[in-house]
Structure 1
Amino acid sequence: MGPLMKILLACLLVLALTGCTRQDDIEISSPDSRIKVSVSLDKQNTAHYTLSIDNQTVLQSSRLGIALNDADFLQGLSVQSVSAITPVQESYELWTGKKSHITYAANEQSMVFHNREKQPLQIDFRVSNDGLAFRYVFPGSSTDIKTVTHEATSFKFPADAKAWLQQVAVAQTGWKNTNPSYEEFYETEIPVGQSSPTEAGWVFPALFQSNNHWLLITEAGMDGKFHASRLQQHAEGGEYKIGFPMAAEVYTDGALMAQSALPFASPWRVIAAGSLATIIESTLGTDLAAPAIEMDTDFIKPGIASWSWGLLKDESIVYDIQKAFIDYSADMQWPYTLIDVNWDQNIGYDRLQELVAYAAEKNVGILVWYNSSGAWNETEYSPKNALLTRDQRLQEFARLKDIGVKGLKIDFFSGDGQSMMAYYNDILIDAAQFDLLINYHGSSLPRGLQRTYPHMMTMESVKGFEMISFDQKVADQEGEHVNMLPYTRNAFDPMDFTPTVFFEIPNIERKTSNGFQLALPIIMLSGIQHIVETPDGMASVPYFVKDFMRKVPARWDAVKFIDGYPGKYTIIARKAGDHWYVAGINGEQNEKSLQLDLSFIGDSQGFIIEDGPTPLSFVKSPLRATANTDVRVAANSGFVMVFSVE
């Protein structure tokens, strides 16, 4: 080999490793080559990326960059090395989500940048067939604590793109200063660039349509070292920037911003991208979460719970009514009953143990409510101040396990600060030692916690049924609001909306039909599905509806998006064991005539339950799954179908 050829080969090797030929054009593609991300440095040596699908740009040049208290990676960067593109393939089990067994495949590439002080920042990119994810990694080793002070990450959309977004409530507002809790309505199909009504910004997941493709932006992988993020209030020119939690969103005297010794990493910034089917069927929100901790999982049993508080409120949390709801769960063959607020005062630990023993005889497990809060809000419900420290938690969890309680619903968190994210993780770590299931309310978004902690069954983080029971204006908007949730809040993470009422809501005029309500336990994903209907209300429905509600699963093996549009209507199929369940809801004010392709089910005979001819009635009819299955759905109505498959 001649000297010139040796020099050329050496140069090519250096270029392959460092990307120094074109620092403005480092490209990574998905395994199917449809999705591409291009990373570059501009004239100020700031890092940018673009995202395209089938050669159509869906995110224009968007910023990358982050800063620590002692290291600025916002500008003045140089590319030091670019790894080879390597395939990533992982398989994992999920107890609560759209699939029970998941395989994730992506192409990964890491880039190391230096700032002007020669300090390193690594950015990991993963591109899968359903989207892009990237994270910031701070390498090295230190004993001193580093704090994130700024993040420049942005998402720049073309001017004609549209957005479906939920505002963040301002911290320390709302009932008893309990905001923010991800409990607002969505702004639907708004022009990109429209500002949030609040200074706090927009929540994740954030849904966009760009060049006829759909993008859902969120984050995953919260280990307690980082704060949770959002989108800033303003997005000039359609460029949405990462936002931080507000100052009050912390554990008392705790940290707001991410902090850790080195090494540590940010959560993954996740962009699911493709069709609406891609969004509904994607598992990126858990694919990028940390793998499950080592723990016993035999006690984790997804299922339905009866729950008195939804319709009967505080006055129902007494011994006799809770005993009746245990009987209700036993009759419905549901595995749980949830005993809500003030049970420690109205029932007490000793009589709780009586209820637990009574329920165990009927194969029903008891869940109990706790108030998470210290000084960060003005709530008075109890038990309160019982979980704030690890010593308190270990003592309380040991007592509950000894009584035989199966899990806790923990309410009233303060927001998205780093110390509050650590609190979520710490509770879960401690609860795992005592085989206790966890449900967070008045809470942040899960962000994939259900993969890392399989006993984290659900989180509220939604304007759920309780808001309908409080306010007619919320009830009036139920159809549109619920039809936003499968495409946003509930796309990746379990959601405790507490669905399904067939009879009356005290002091509220219902606006959705019984068929709509029957579909919700299938449309909505939650490891424990708390059904709001009471024993009296369930007694008002036909036997075949009651039979359906007895058998509806809470753990799913597969998902198939059939049809829908955010805020308007949704038709989804979910598979559990040897049955496909198809559910549809129409949130618009006009009837829809739809032709559904159910050929994926195979030639199978099943049935459909839909609204009957009179208000609050049902009708059940035989139905065969075909490629052209016709269905008519009235305004604010819905249906369920069930098919057996071999």
Structure 2
Amino acid sequence: MEGYFDANKRIRTGLVTLALFIASPCFGEEHTFTLASPDKNIDVEIEVNQGVSYQIALDGKSILLPSNIDLQLESLPSLSDGIRLTDKKSHQVNEVLEPEVRVKSQKILDSYNQLSLSFSNNYTVTFRAFNNGIAYRFETDINQDIVVIDELAEFNFPAPSTTYFPKEEGFYSHNERSYLKEKVSDIKATDLASTPTLIDTEAGKLLITETALENYAGLWLIGSEKGLKGTFAHYPTQKAVGETPWQDRNEPITHRAKYIAKSSGKRTYPWRVLAIAKQDKDLLTNQLTYQLAIPSKLADTSWIKPGKVAWDWFNANNLHGVDFEAGLNTATYKHYIDFAAEYGLEYVILDEGWYPLGDLMGTVAGFDVPELIRYGKEKGVGIILWASWLTLRDQFDEAMDRFQQLGAVGIKPDFFQRDDQEMVQFYWKIAKEAAERELLVDFHGSYKPAGLRRTYPNVISREGVKGLEWNKWSYDSTPEHNTTLPFIRQVAGPMDYTPGVMSNAIGPAAFENINYSGKDSNHQDFTIRFMRPMSQTTRVHQMAMFTVFESPLQMMADTPSQYRKNSECAAFIAKVPTVWDETIPLEGSIGDFVMVARKHQSTWHVGAMTDENARTLPLDLSFLEEGKWKMVIFEDGPNAKHWAEDYRSKTLEVTNETKLYISLAPGGGYTARLSKM
């Protein structure tokens, strides 16, 4: 047992187990059990009566109404089939976890109360109550393979409640959605959402997601009579191979089985996570998806290096001021490597185009990948290779061996668009085989983080977010969207939003909030441009993303030419860490504004972003240690509301008694680095 805790960097500070076995005849048909969070602010009431239901109160006010749960297996009785309660066990844990990759903090307090209920059909249902949420999962102990036909997961809410609903068209999706604010009562059974999904009740905020997702299908949501209900992509049986465009990456499902999953009957199932917050900003430090995930399977993680990436695809390799023709060629990527080395960036990605599509073993004329990897090593810059998931699947063993033989440090598989059981298991296969070859993994075109990053810490980031690239073809990446993500999508885990564009403009939503005489209500500065993309935010809003948005593998999305042209901003961005020892949420309102302070070693960073509305926020520096601090600040310039690239930099001497007020332009931002003097 000690080896278990050492291998997973768990520091045990307190552990109490209370086991109580009561033979089934001693149990009546109805039982009510209560479970409280360690701080007693969250109460869970679990009722066993021809099935299992639970409800949650926050500070004595209902935040979740009685909601039924069940697991339906083929040809076997479920909880609602007259089964008996046979055992009850209580468990209390108070530990400190030390994650291998420090996304939010160096240490995580893992403190909870647990109740496990076992039944005569060899099911166990386990509930855990934390100070910032509750979770439950099923376990089966059945001596045969099982088929999961369905899982009942109700989430019923008191009225009035609203939801930030990431509405989807179907299960075949990149899960890159906007969060639509709707009344829960207006969500129909035909409305489908991916998770995480947030619900705002009068008692507080409740976010639904999952973790420890292995050998199972991912959790989605639909409307129900009293709230929302879980639904799942069934196992795929027929695929549209050869019938769709982009044959190297798209494999739509044309028929699915009547079951969710097949597996061994002796197993645990994913945790259903309900993160709970009294204030919006409390969501920013919730780490339940990590705490409940399967512990690391890697004995050595010393080779896993977070860092920044010079990224090519967003900016379409639009270098200028160089003496060669930019494009998918060796000279262009040597230029990216030189830029990365100059600015202290750890990585360069070779995105789509480094291999002939459909053949990961092939080569492209004028693109010398071995030479680029050799050159990168000489400069201290690692190379990460993009790959279509479908080509990777079809050439898996030889492709993975080639990545290792080339000397790549990581891979970026893309375009998965599914989270049924088959695809979930392919994620696990990639993570495991990549770890054996000491390769980082950055999943794109992916479902949300669901625990794999803890089990295999080389899964260092993933997409599953409507990010900066959407500015290339839509108006969706608005400041409001950006200030929503930290409170919802980021609670599930790191998000590879790919920030940092230096071409900035006022988007249509922000422009409507700018008042000056002679305004043309149809005017805007932002333009959709695929080859020379821009943002719908101010320059400093983009800079602040590097502190506000969490991704241990953080992209710098613009070109080396643009960053050198804006070297003061680029140099600041390049020094922002990608992992953190401590995170302190300072201010926050979902979809309105966010401000966070983060510490890395001895340096603090502050990042703030606002939606389309200009606003002034207080900045209290009492989180600093004693002494004098040098504060390097980037803030929106006085004309940023008309010219989004306008910014102002300055340096102050401050202490932990300093109190500031920061002004944010429409779609604006603020960022600062604080170093001990």
Give me the TM-score of the superposition, normalised by structure 2. 0.83
Pairing partner for 1:183 from 170, 176, 181: 176
CA deviation profile, 1:443-473 (whole Å, cap 9, x unmatched): 11121211111000111101112111122x2
Report the equivalent of 1:242.
230
**CA contact under 8 A between 2:309 and 2:346: conserved in structure 1?**
yes
Whether 2:557 is the aligned partner of 1:532: answer yes
**What secondary structure does 1:71 align onto?**
coil
**What secondary structure does 2:577 align onto?**
coil
Report the equivalent of 2:287.
283
CA deviation profile, 1:393-419 (whole Å, cap 9, x unmatched): 332222222211111110111411101
**CA contact under 8 A between 1:229 and 1:243: conserved in structure 2?**
yes
Whether 2:150 is the aligned partner of 1:126: answer no
Whether 2:414 is the aligned partner of 1:425: answer no
Report the equivalent of 2:43.
36
Report the equivalent of 2:321.
none
Report the equivalent of 2:647.
618
In the TM superposition, residue 28 of structure 1 has moved relative to its aligned partner by 0.9
Rounded Cα–Cα distance in structure 1 between residues aligned with 2:664 and 2:60 = 38
Rounded Cα–Cα distance in structure 2 between residues aligned with 1:37 and 1:77 = 22
Whether 2:274 is the aligned partner of 1:271: answer yes
Whether 2:141 is the aligned partner of 1:149: answer no
In the TM superposition, residue 365 of structure 1 has moved relative to its aligned partner by 0.4
**What secondary structure does 2:465 align onto?**
coil
CA deviation profile, 1:13-55 (whole Å, cap 9, x unmatched): 877999947944201111111111110034xx12110111111
Count of residue correspondences: 595
CA deviation profile, 1:545-568 (whole Å, cap 9, x unmatched): 233122111111111111111111
Report the equivalent of 1:47.
52
Whether 2:389 is the aligned partner of 1:372: answer yes
Report the equivalent of 2:617.
594
User: Residues 558-597 of structure 1: matches in 2 within 5 Å?
Assistant: 558-588=582-612, 590-597=613-620
- AA partner of residue 545 (structure 2): L
Rounded Cα–Cα distance in structure 2 between residues aligned with 1:428 and 1:530 = 21
More deviation, 415-424/568-577: 568-577
**CA contact under 8 A between 2:501 and 2:535: conserved in structure 1?**
no
Rounded Cα–Cα distance in structure 2 between residues aligned with 1:596 and 1:19 = 59
Report the equivalent of 2:140.
138
Report the equivalent of 2:62.
57
Gaps of 5+ in 2: 1-19, 240-250, 319-325, 357-362, 505-528
Whether 2:331 is the aligned partner of 1:320: answer yes
Rounded Cα–Cα distance in structure 2 between residues aligned with 1:19 and 1:125 = 22
Report the equivalent of 1:632.
663
**CA contact under 8 A between 2:316 and 2:532: conserved in structure 1?**
no
CA deviation profile, 1:277-326 (whole Å, cap 9, x unmatched): 33111110110000011243122100000011111169833222111111
In the TM superposition, residue 494 of structure 1 has moved relative to its aligned partner by 1.2
User: Residues 218-229 of structure 1: matches in 2 within 5 Å?
Assistant: 218-223=209-214, 225-229=215-219
Rounded Cα–Cα distance in structure 2 between residues aligned with 1:365 and 1:200 = 43
More deviation, 291-300/419-428: 291-300
Rounded Cα–Cα distance in structure 2 between residues aligned with 1:585 and 1:350 = 40
Rounded Cα–Cα distance in structure 2 between residues aligned with 1:350 and 1:532 = 21
Rounded Cα–Cα distance in structure 2 between residues aligned with 1:278 and 1:20 = 40
- AA partner of residue 64 (structure 1): I
- AA partner of residue 227 (structure 1): A
- AA partner of residue 516 (structure 1): H
Rounded Cα–Cα distance in structure 2 between residues aligned with 1:429 and 1:38 = 39
**CA contact under 8 A between 1:308 and 1:316: conserved in structure 2?**
no
- AA partner of residue 309 (structure 2): A
Gaps of 5+ in 1: 1-12, 172-178, 374-384
Rounded Cα–Cα distance in structure 2 between residues aligned with 1:350 and 1:593 = 50
- AA partner of residue 91 (structure 1): L
**What secondary structure does 1:280 align onto?**
helix
**CA contact under 8 A between 1:194 and 1:235: conserved in structure 2?**
no
- AA partner of residue 422 (structure 1): Q
Report the equivalent of 2:574.
550
**CA contact under 8 A between 2:472 and 2:534: conserved in structure 1?**
no
- AA partner of residue 289 (structure 1): A
In the TM superposition, residue 530 of structure 1 has moved relative to its aligned partner by 1.3
Whether 2:259 is the aligned partner of 1:230: answer no
More deviation, 534-543/428-437: 534-543
Q: 1:148 to 1:399 in 2, by over 3 A?
A: same
**CA contact under 8 A between 2:46 and 2:55: conserved in structure 1?**
yes
Report the equivalent of 2:194.
203
Pairing partner for 1:337 from 348, 365, 385: 348
More deviation, 300-309/603-612: 603-612
**What secondary structure does 2:315 align onto?**
helix
Percentage of pairs with the same residue: 27
Rounded Cα–Cα distance in structure 1 between residues aligned with 2:556 and 2:487 = 22
In the TM superposition, residue 259 of structure 1 has moved relative to its aligned partner by 1.9
Rounded Cα–Cα distance in structure 2 between residues aligned with 1:430 and 1:53 = 43
Rounded Cα–Cα distance in structure 2 between residues aligned with 1:349 and 1:195 = 53
More deviation, 199-208/150-159: 199-208
Q: 1:643 to 1:320 in 2, by over 3 A?
A: same
**What secondary structure does 1:610 align onto?**
strand
More deviation, 201-210/342-351: 342-351
**CA contact under 8 A between 1:18 and 1:81: conserved in structure 2?**
no
Rounded Cα–Cα distance in structure 2 between residues aligned with 1:626 and 1:78 = 61
In the TM superposition, residue 612 of structure 1 has moved relative to its aligned partner by 2.3
Say which structure is richer in strand. 2
Report the equivalent of 2:248.
none
- AA partner of residue 451 (structure 2): G
More deviation, 249-258/606-615: 249-258
**What secondary structure does 2:142 align onto?**
coil
**What secondary structure does 2:457 align onto?**
coil
**What secondary structure does 2:304 align onto?**
coil
More deviation, 312-321/528-537: 312-321
Report the equivalent of 1:165.
165
Report the equivalent of 1:355.
372
- AA partner of residue 271 (structure 1): L
Give me the TM-score of the superposition, normalised by structure 1. 0.87
Q: 1:161 to 1:451 in 2, by over 3 A?
A: same
- AA partner of residue 316 (structure 1): G
Rounded Cα–Cα distance in structure 2 between residues aligned with 1:55 and 1:17 = 32
Say which structure is richer in helix. 1
Report the equivalent of 2:112.
106
Whether 2:280 is the aligned partner of 1:292: answer no
CA deviation profile, 1:241-263 (whole Å, cap 9, x unmatched): 11112665998899762221120
**What secondary structure does 2:540 align onto?**
helix
Structure 1 vs Structure 2 CA RMSD:
2.6
**What secondary structure does 2:174 align onto?**
coil
In the TM superposition, residue 165 of structure 1 has moved relative to its aligned partner by 1.6
Q: 1:639 to 1:299 in 2, by over 3 A?
A: same
More deviation, 336-345/208-217: 208-217
**What secondary structure does 1:261 align onto?**
strand
Report the equivalent of 2:13.
none
**CA contact under 8 A between 1:503 and 1:540: conserved in structure 2?**
no
Q: 1:246 to 1:316 in 2, by over 3 A?
A: farther
- AA partner of residue 637 (structure 1): G
Rounded Cα–Cα distance in structure 1 between residues aligned with 2:30 and 2:22 = 10
- AA partner of residue 525 (structure 1): E
Report the equivalent of 2:407.
404
- AA partner of residue 194 (structure 1): D
**What secondary structure does 2:667 align onto?**
coil
Rounded Cα–Cα distance in structure 1 between residues aligned with 2:83 and 2:43 = 23
